[in-house]
Each structure stands twice: as C-alpha cells, then as structure tokens.
A and B are shown apart, each in its own frame.
Chain A
Amino acid sequence: AQRVTQPEKLLSVFKGAPVELKCNYSYSGSPELFWYVQYSRQRLQLLLRHISRESIKGFTADLNKGETSFHLKKPFAQEEDSAMYYCALTGANSKLTFGKGITLSVRP
C-alpha cells in the first residue's frame, strides 16, 4: 500500500521567513514524489517533482529515502505563496496518492 502523510494542517509565517512543509511517505518500491499547489479559486497544479531536481518559484524538495520524506522548502516566503499544498506519490501502478494537504499562510 502507498501512503502520504502531511502531519500539519496549517503553517503561518511572515513574509521573508523560511518555509518547510513536511511530507512523509510509505511505499515498498521506488516512488515518484510530487508537490501540487492550489491557489485560491484555481485548479490543482503541479509545483515540482523529485525526478527533475528543479526549483520552482524558489521552492525545492529533496527526496530522503532513509527518512522516507520529501519536505518542501523555501528560504524566503512571499505573500503570493499562500495556498494549499499537497504532497503526492506514485508507484508502479501510476496512481497518484495524495496527502491531506497543508494550508500555507504568508502574512505581510
């Protein structure tokens, strides 16, 4: 079975503060990990995926197989980062399994 855990429901920070959104997963094989973001009144969209090792909008995420984690980080939060963030995993069956999501609120 594949499972994604996002232990926190809400993270509230001030503009310019660092951000870390936690994600832990459970999967017996080699997973593909993703972060999706949903801005207010917009559709769910892909933010980044671990295989591309990219930085999008200043966000990065490193897959730690030892700790089975894929935490999302940004050194300096911006107000426009306020959104709902979902960690997701896919395995050999190509089915995406999502965590429950976390609301990031960046205050001015």
Chain B
Amino acid sequence: DTGVSQDPRHKITKRGQNVTFRCDPISEHNRLYWYRQTLGQGPEFLTYFQNEAQLEKSRLLSDRFSAERPKGSFSTLEIQRTEQGDSAMYLCASSFDSRRGYTFGSGTRLTVV
C-alpha cells in the first residue's frame, strides 16, 4: 500500500464542463475525506465518508458537487457545470481513527478556463 492516491494530478477544463476525480485511500482506513484548498488558505472541508455512508457535507458545497464511495473503498468527486471559482486543489485524505490524524493524497489541481 503506497498511501492515498489521487487521479488525475492536474485537470484543465472549460467552464461548463463536468469533471470527476478519483481517490484511493489506504485500504484499512474506513474514513475518507475530501477537502478543497485555494491559494493562501488552509484546506477546507467538503465532505466525508465512513465506509460507504456519506456522513457530512459542507454547506460550502453547492448542488453541483457530488461525491460517492460505492463499496467503501475508492471515492469519486464530481463537479458539474464547472465555474472559474471551482479552480482549486482538491485533496483527499483517509483515516482509521481521526484522533491519530489523517493521511493525505497529493491532490488534484483543477483549473477552469
């Protein structure tokens, strides 16, 4: 197990297009988190899963954003009808026990042109 993997590393898309990102967590971790980070800011929470259940979704997340974790393993984050304001680094993290901290992936950098 090489840690948390995210794909793709970079994505450039035209405004209005849909994009989907994938995250593969550490296999024994039951919790998976999505964060967004923009320049000069710390990571902002988007949503998290415990196994396949989506337990919390940030109010920052518009209806254009949806996340799934169908079998409690990998997760996908989809953004529909992208806007320039969606340009950011999208980070995925996983944990077994949040008190021990999370393990982060390298992120997917989205640029909407």
Contacts and interface: CB of A to CB of B under 8 A. Distances in A.
A and B co-occur in one complex: yes
Interface of A: 4, 6, 9, 32, 34, 36, 43-46, 49, 51, 86, 88, 90, 93-101
Interface stretch (B16-24, B60-68, B76-84, B104-112): B104-112
B98 A32 contact: yes
A49 B101 contact: yes
A69 B61 CA distance: 30
Interface of B: 31, 33, 40-45, 48, 56, 91, 93, 95, 98-107
Contacts of A96: 33, 43, 45, 93, 98, 101-102
Contacts of A49: 99-101
A78 B91 CA distance: 28
B55 to A, nearest CB: 8
A4 B45 CA distance: 13
Nearest to A91: B98
Given A43-B107, A44-B104, A93-B56, A98 B42 contact: yes
Nearest to A34: B101
